[in-house]
Amino acid sequence: MTDCTDLDIEAQRALIKAYAPYSRLRVGAAVRTRSGAIYRGCNVECASYTLGGCAERAAIAAAVQAEGPQVEIVAVAIHALNSRDEAQIIPPCGGCRQMIMELGPKARVRFLGEGGTPVDLSIAELLPHAFALVQH
């Protein structure tokens, strides 16, 4: 992506740190909170595949660790490179969409789309029927 925002740049920096020896798909994410702070995360794979972690959730965990449970995510950027160092289309998975929705119900999410064009959507557009626990 040629027109990078500061959030895109931080997501690209994060993917360099990814631990992806199995898929060789390096993913970086950056989240901006209501405070204006930016937190990064990268994917971490494991030989027991289901134990790995997504970049988006790593960045969100860093934000919660820094700002506490009241943190509000306002924007997310995701970037990925495949084994040939080519940009890869990588929208957030369902679990990451749910986590973004819970901590940033008005958040904007940016990722690479078809033809190398950036996609910028609200989390509500990405997860129109989010799971929610009924509060009594």
CATH code for the domain in which residue 74 is found: 3.40.140.10
Containing structural domain, residue 78: 6-126
The number of distinct structural domains making up the chain is: 1
pTM above 0.75, yes or no: yes
- Whether 131 maps to a domain, the answer reads no
Cα(136)–Cα(117) distance, integer angstroms: 44
Mean predicted confidence (pLDDT) in 11-15? 97
Residue 132 lies in a domain: no
| pLDDT tens track for 35-90 | 999 999 999 999 988 889 999 999 999 999 999 999 999 999 999 999 999 999 99
Catalytic amino acids?
56
Residue 135 placed within a domain: no
Helix (H, G, I), strand (E, B) or coil at 46: coil
Is 82 within a domain?
yes
136 in any annotated domain? no
Task: Let me know if residue 52 belongs to a domain.
Answer: yes
Report yes or no on 133 lying in a domain: no
Q: Residue 28, Cα to own-chain centre: how many angstroms? A: 7
Q: What type of residue sits at position 94?
A: G
Distance of alpha carbon 100 from alpha carbon 114, whole angstroms: 22
d(CA 57, CA 68): 15
The reported pLDDT for the residue numbered 2 is: 38
